[in-house]
Structures are given as C-alpha cells and as structure tokens.
Chains A and B, each alone.
Chain A
Amino acid sequence: MPLLDVRDLSVTFARRGQRTVHAVDGVSFSVDAGEVVGLVGESGCGKSVTSLALMGLLPRQRGVRVGGSADFDGTDLLKLDPRSMRDVRGRDIAMIFQDPLSSLNPVVPIGIQVTEVLVRHRGMSGDAARKEAAELLDRVGIPDPTRRLKEYPHQLSGGMRQRALIAMAVACRPRLLIADEPTTALDVTIQAQILELLKELVRDSGTALIMITHDLGVVAGMCDTINVLYAGRVVETARRKELFAGRRHPYTVGLLASIPRLDAGRGEKLTPIRGSVRDVLPWTEGCAFAPRCDRRTEACVGEPPAMTPTHTGHEFRCVNPFPLSQPEEARV
C-alpha cells in the first residue's frame, strides 16, 4: 500500500463574473514510503496547487473547491478538519518552499523559527529545543549553528536560508516531504548542494519526497518515479529509467527537447514548445495539449484521452504517442 495515494484530485477557483479555473483537473499519483516522486511541468500546470491542496494550505474562501481524495496512511487528507490537519502539517508532512528569503519571517530569529516546530509537535521546550535546533542546523550543513540560531534571515546567505528551511521541515522526521521548486531561487552551484542535501536526508531517514519542479535535470538526478503534468492532469508517469529510455507523450518529449544544451552548436536555435500554456483545450473536449502538439490527429479532439497503461507501469495520456524506439531522442 502506498504512503500517499492521490486519486482524482481537482481544485477549481471560481470568481464571480469570471470563468471557473480548473487549476488541478483530476490528478492521480501515488508515493511509496521512502520514494522520491517528481511532479514536473511548466508554470501553470497545477503542480504547486496540487501540493498546497495536499497540505490544506489553499485559501479557505468561497469559490475554492477541492475534490477527489488523498489517502495518507489510511486517512483522507482532504477530509480532515482544519485542526487535525494542523497536527499533520509539520509533523507527518512537511514542506519546503521556493524562495527561501520570503519564506522566512524577517523579524524572528532563525532559532525560534526552528524551535517553534519542535515545541509544537514534539513538546520540547527551552534548552532541549535549542540544543535540538542546533543539531538540526548542523545536520543540514550550517556551520557554527549555535551562533546562527540567534541570527535573523537577512544575515544568512541564500543557500544557508534554504538549508534552515529544510532543517525546519525535517525537524519532526516527517514521513513525507514536499519540496516545491526548492532550488529555483538559488545559484546553480548552490542548487546542486541543496539537491545533494535533500537526497542525503531522504536516503538516511527513509522520508518520502515529492519533488515539484519544472527542471527535468533535477528530476533525472533524484526521482524514482516521475509524473509529468499538463493543464492540471498527469499526462505521463513512469519510473525514471523507463521515462528517459522512451518518452511517449509529445509534451514530455517537447519538455526535454527544450532544455538548452551546452554541446549544441553555436547559433543553433533552442527548441521551445510552440504556443503557451494558455492555448489549452478543456480536457472534456479532447487532449489539452492538442493545440500545441505536432503529432495532433483528428482523434485528439472530441473526447478526453485516457491513460494508456503498459506492462512496465509506464502510462501516458495520448492517442498518438511516440513509438517506443526514438533514435533521434535517445541522446537526451
């Protein structure tokens, strides 16, 4: 049984006088204990909204509707009342956000921001909490942790801040960690360090990790299973090896082809995917990617494409997928 099983998750935002937005439109995926799962897609594909929905962090307003189920170790996260959800957050499921500077409270010392999780969920206090916080900072590779505890976010470097946020997230040894673009706001060299740190933490603690990113390079290095999202639905899901050996969905292929390559010839153009995420067909009327797809056929429009399973567990949502052997793409 998977640790987290998300079935038909949907999130809609309805505003008076405006068209209802289906930010997440029936996403299903699962995460096993200790597994690293990637959610990949362009901005606006629904990957961040998915994570916020799982955490119960979407704004509690009229017009925000969450549907489907998210079974976490026997309880449906989407049906938990706000109070029980507060107990789960930070203790069983923790999250790391994109921009480490804005994600830290500027007027509260790092130490308190770490210990408050320990106080809340592990019932620690005073010196014990401070000692544990220093150990946590040490574990995520922050030198001189006892001094850093007294410092404020603006006194830390970008990488250091992200390490501090990671320390807060792993403070209660959660069973599931959600990292939403954890390296996007960082320098490339720091990115590698942070990814390495996450990998290490996951390996040592057996925590499962959902890695949300637009960067297939990140996915390639870390994830066991990859889910590619488009317009609020999973369009392709596979184990890492299978996906990189043979991509089937034209969108996944396009995503990979659009990564700039150092070995490309001078003056050689980048290969973007045509159009933008805004050119979508509603899933009810066919494949949402059809308006941007080079392999579009008449069968793409009319009814929503279903997930096509294969015997290896590799699934894709496409009626005209790339054939299994793709010599020209194999080099990626």
Chain B
Amino acid sequence: MFRFIVRRLLQLVPTLFGLSILLFIWLHRLPGGPETALLGERGTPESRAQIRESLGLDEPLPIQYGRFVKRLVQLDLGTSISTKREVTTEFLQRFPGTVELTITAMIIAIGVGIPLGYLAARRRGSILDQASVGGSLLGTCIPIFFLAYVLKAIFAENLGWFPTIGRQDASINATHITNFFVLDGLLTREWDAAADAIWHLVLPGIALASIPLAIIVRITRASVLEVLGEDFVRTAEAKGLTERTVRRRHVLRNAMLPVATSIGLLTGLLLSGAVLTETVFAFSGIGAFIKDAISNLDYPVLMGFIMIIAVVFALVNLLVDVSYSLIDPRVRVR
C-alpha cells in the first residue's frame, strides 16, 4: 500500500510538468496581456513595451518558463502582477475559505446523498423514491448561482435565519492562525467564532452541494438497487442477520465503490466551481481573486491556481483509489 502511494505521487511529477508546459504556452498565447490591464486605454506602445520588459515578458517563452520552474521547485509561485504581493501569500489567505466551503458542500452532499439514495433504492417506487429521483434531476438542472440567490433571498434576507454575506461576523474579532476559520476557532477554543464561521458556511454550502448531492443520490440509488439483487444479499438475509448488519456489511459496502469514484471527481470540480457561489455570498475565498486574475491575465496567479487545483485533484483521486482498495479486496494494490 505504501509503495503504491509513493508510486502514484511520483507519477504526479511528470503529469504536472506536462500540464505546466501546456498551460504556460496557452496562457501566453492569449491575446492581450497584463500590461493592458495595468495601463488601460491610455497605454502607448512604448509604455506597454516598458512594462513588458520590467515584468520579463519580452524574453523568449522557454527562458520565462525556465524561470517559472526554477521558482516552482522552491515552492515559490512568483509575484502577482496586479496586487504586487507574493502569490503564495495571496493563496494562503484566500484558499482556506474556498476549501472550507468545498468541504462543507461535500459533507452535505455525502451525508444527505448516500442515505437518501439508499432509502430510495430500498423503497423503490415509493413517494420518497420518486421525489428523490425527480429532485435530483431538478438539482442538476438549476444553475448554482440561481439557487444561491434564491437561498439567500429566502433564508438570509427574508427569514433572517442565516447571515447574508461573508465568512464570519466582524464583531466577533476572532484570532486567525490558519485562515481556516472553523479550524481557527477550534484551535483557539473560541467556540463562538467557530460556530459563527459554520453558520456562514451553511447557505453557500447547500447551494454548492446541490449538483454533487443530486449526482450522489442517483449513483447511490442505482448502485444499491444493483447490489440488492445480488445473491449474497439473499444469503445474508437467509442467515437471519439484523437489518443493520445486512445494510452496512453486505449492501452499502458493495454499493459504495461507484459512489467513491464519483466523490473523487466531484470534489475536484467543486473546488474550481465554488467561484460563483462565493460571489453571491460575498464569501472571501479564492473566487473573486481568480476572476480578476483571468481578466487581467495575471500569469503567475493563474499558473499557480491551476497547478494547485491539479495537485488537489490528483491527491483526492489517490485517496479514492486507496479507499477503493480498502473496500474491495479484489482490486487491492500491492
């Protein structure tokens, strides 16, 4: 198992290398450049050239790429062109919010999706089943930002149950160590700060969870239905085992395999898809920052962001593969 993990991590190196070359070429081939954003309409060809020179953008691409890699191995992503701050610093400040939001959404999607999918399969054809199938179709159709606006209007603005914007109430004056606000609250034992951060996560978390929830419900339902028809479930019933044992050991354990795969794929998608939700709830994650970076063609920020997403995606899917082999001895890795 250990060797498998190490091997997979080593495989990640050439993948990231290739990805970075492609990205570098693509980004630099896009029309315009950071100088347009910095100078706007007033820029003269001379001032543009001057800025490009000062940023090192006038040099040939291979040399620029070499510099990028040299910095990257020292875990330095360079300096943002628009904010003039270290990209790593910017990320450490902003990424935790997005990660918290993604984790919240996944907890909701998994925590609700798997039981709901299981019940729908067990009571196939019942009202619950039909509602969950119909609801999951609706869930995949409704655009996230629309759902986010609706949730915000009803539960935050009208009913006042949840805060409308932000990650934490400013009046709490919480101490921040890691910028994961919930974690910070727990570390510093400022329970009210942690609770408030969780409170701020609920609505955006639900909005972001809608699509993965719908997908998880559907996959769980289909997978449980398949397993319920298997002979070994009948054997388990014939042994007179309790419903609980049959469900956990014999049905869910087998039904979880396809669900685990989809969870891995969904987590990566959510991380990059949190942007819209963050905008609606003015949630200070990475979303707005990346949006600006795209319109300004802030090369270091974009490169860094996509590389990090790629690494996270690979790690999550490695985790899925590991859990896969823990669940199913037939695919156990050596």
Contact = CB atoms under 8 A, between A and B. Distances in A.
To the question of whether A and B form a pair in one complex, the answer is yes
A139 to B, nearest CB: 18
Contacts of B329: 106-107, 109, 152, 154
B189 interface: no
Report which residue of B230, B231, B249, B327 has the largest number of chain A beta carbons within 10 angstroms of its beta carbon. Answer: B231
Given A108-B253, A116-B249, A154-B330, A102 B232 contact: yes
Contact of A103 (B232, B240, B249, B253): B232
Nearest to A151: B329
Given A97-B231, A102-B231, A104-B232, A120 B239 contact: yes
Nearest to B257: A107
Interface stretch (A32-40, A83-91, A250-258): A83-91
Contacts of B328: 106-107
Contact of A120 (B230, B242, B250, B330): B242
Contacts of B20: none
A107 B238 contact: no
B250 A89 contact: no
B236 interface: yes
B245 A97 contact: no
B231 A99 contact: yes
B64 interface: no
B235 interface: yes
Contacts of A102: 230-232
> Binding site of B, secondary structure by majority: helix, strand, loop or mixed?
helix
Contacts of A108: 249-250, 253
Contacts of B249: 105, 108, 112, 116
B232 A168 contact: no
Contact of A106 (B234, B236, B239, B330): B330
A57 B237 contact: yes
- How many B residues are at the interface, by size bracket? 20 to 34
A107 B253 contact: yes
B238 A106 contact: no
Nearest to B245: A116
Interface in A276-290: none
Nearest to B237: A57
A79 interface: no
B254 interface: yes
A23 to B, nearest CB: 16
A112 B235 CA distance: 14
Given A97-B235, A105-B253, A106-B329, 20 more contacts: A55-B238, A57-B238, A85-B240, A86-B241, A89-B239, A89-B240, A90-B238, A91-B240, A103-B232, A103-B234, A105-B254, A107-B327, A107-B329, A117-B239, A117-B241, A120-B239, A120-B245, A154-B329, A154-B330, A165-B235
Interface of A: 55, 57, 85-91, 94-95, 97, 99, 102-109, 112, 116-117, 120-121, 152, 154, 165, 168
Interface of B: 230-232, 234-242, 245, 249-250, 253-254, 327-330
17 contacts: A57-B237, A89-B240, A95-B238, A97-B234, A97-B238, A105-B236, A105-B250, A106-B232, A106-B328, A107-B254, A107-B329, A112-B249, A116-B239, A117-B241, A120-B239, A120-B240, A165-B235
